[in-house]
Amino acid sequence: MKNFSALMESYNSAGLIKKGRMDDPGYRKALAEANNLINGVVNGKMPSHLLSEAMGTSDFPILLGDNLSSRLLGAYNEAPSTYQKWCYINRNVRDFRTQYLKYLNTGNLLEKVKEGQKGPEIPVPEEGRYYYAVETYEETMKFSWEMLVNDDLNAFQTLPAQLGQDAKNTVEKFATSLLVDAAGPHASFFKSESGQVNLITNKLNADGLRAGVKAFRAIRKPDGSPMNTTPAILAVAPALEETAKDLLGASNLMFANLNTANNKQVGFTLQNSNRFQGLQLVVLDWLPNIVTKDGPDDESWFLLGDPNQGRGAFEIGFLRGIGDQPLVLKKKADAEVMGGVEAAIGDFDSRSFEYKVTHVFGGCQKDWRFAVASNGSGS
């Protein structure tokens, strides 16, 4: 767990603390004390009855909510994910309506001109369009008044971290679904036909990687000019993780020799170098949950371009003003204790404190020219 200052700075910079609240030194001090109390009780360093006593005050549930939110945000930031490595990240989606975007072909060549002559004006052609809309994803956690007073500390430890992990996993699975569907690599995006060849069938081995790189480098722009890109990422199903590590980590590679007349293997060539060591390995943990055809035995793999060099093959977008952090919302408590007693018991009907994590994002397949897939069905 990060220290209090780091948590509050990240929390405040994300815009999740009510404006002006963090400017109040008294509030910052109270929040620091509440943070120390909760962490101390959870970690067994302070007696649990202190937490029960704190729940009898009217302001502690507010501080508790901010503590839970900071825990959730910390867990989200620390949760492992891969989509940022192979998807272009757009943090500037303006609203919830479908965003219609386009990419342009900038591959024109300069033309030689004579002295005093003006070069030809070449209009920038529109090369392609893509579109998507961001949508809202939510999950709720609820703490009863009795749970908090009775020191159910397991909830403090597990629920915020679990919700943070859930939010990150939701984006990760969504991004993976841009690569594959139930049958394997998306047939609408990965094809092997005239005008588009970015689907092969090779298994993941030295020869397969060589075939994949060859297919990637053979891709051309619509006007036939070269893309001038190379694959940067090797993304694999979990079943291929160890195979991929062995391939990328090997000092030498063995390639099959083929008889060009009948395409049959006639021996091997040992290469005392590894041209593929520059590829970054990504393991698509959610792929078996999406590809139901083979499930955990699926052997799909992908060569992908760097999403920050050129256009990239995929894009994930987040709503402007929120960015790639989830929001944490608290339901306003409506129970008021009569008789002048200062105590907070949460919701009038259920005596509970309810928090909601909300994540807003979307994405789409962008340009097939920056991706090659193999379904692993061949040799």
Q: Is residue 287 part of a domain?
A: yes
Residue 239 CA, distance from chain mean position = 21
Indicate the DSSP class of residue 118.
Answer: P
Span 85-108, pLDDT tens digits:
999 999 999 999 999 988 776 667
Q: Are residues 271 and 354 in the same domain?
A: no
Span 175-224, pLDDT tens digits:
999 999 999 999 999 999 988 999 999 999 999 999 999 999 999 888 78
Q: Which of 3-12, 110-119, 128-137 has the lowest mean pLDDT?
A: 3-12
Q: Are residues 335 and 229 in the same domain?
A: no
Q: Are residues 228 and 343 in the same domain?
A: no
Indicate the DSSP class of residue 145.
Answer: H
pLDDT at 354 > cutoff 70? yes
Q: Are residues 21 and 140 in the same domain?
A: yes
Span 151-167, pLDDT tens digits:
555 666 677 778 888 99
Span 261-304, pLDDT tens digits:
666 665 567 677 788 999 999 999 999 999 988 777 889 999 99
Alpha helices in the chain (DSSP H): 4-13, 25-42, 49-54, 60-78, 83-86, 145-149, 153-176, 206-218, 241-249, 287-290
Q: Are residues 323 and 226 in the same domain?
A: no
Q: Are residues 148 and 10 in the same domain?
A: yes
Per-residue pLDDT at 145: 67
Q: Are residues 160 and 73 in the same domain?
A: yes
Span 233-251, pLDDT tens digits:
999 999 999 999 999 998 8
Go through the chain and tell me how many residues it has.
379
Q: Is residue 101 part of a domain?
A: no
Residue 130, CB-side half-sphere exposure with 13 Å CA sphere: 17
End-to-end CA distance of the chain: 47
Q: Are residues 151 and 57 in the same domain?
A: yes
Q: Count how many domains the chain has.
A: 2
Q: Is residue 25 part of a domain?
A: yes
Per-residue pLDDT at 54: 53
Q: Is residue 113 part of a domain?
A: no
Percent of the chain with pLDDT over 70: 67
Q: Is residue 118 part of a domain?
A: no
Q: Are residues 261 and 327 in the same domain?
A: no
pLDDT at 110 > cutoff 70? yes
Distance CA(12)–CA(31), nearest Å, equals 13
Q: pLDDT-based confidence at 5, cuts 50/70/90? A: very low
More confident residue, 189 or 69: 189
Q: Is residue 100 part of a domain?
A: no
Q: Are residues 62 and 8 in the same domain?
A: yes
Per-residue pLDDT at 251: 86
Range of the structural domain that residue 242 is part of = 185-308+370-374
Q: Are residues 138 and 277 in the same domain?
A: no
Q: What is the mean pLDDT of residues 41-69?
A: 55
φ, ψ of residue 200 to 5 degrees: the values are -125, 175
Q: Is residue 110 part of a domain?
A: no
Distance CA(292)–CA(188), nearest Å, equals 18
Q: Give the distance between the most distant pair of CA atoms in the chain.
A: 96
Q: What is the mean pLDDT of residues 50-54?
A: 52
Q: Which of 39-43, 317-321, 374-378 has the lowest mean pLDDT?
A: 39-43
Q: Are residues 200 and 147 in the same domain?
A: no
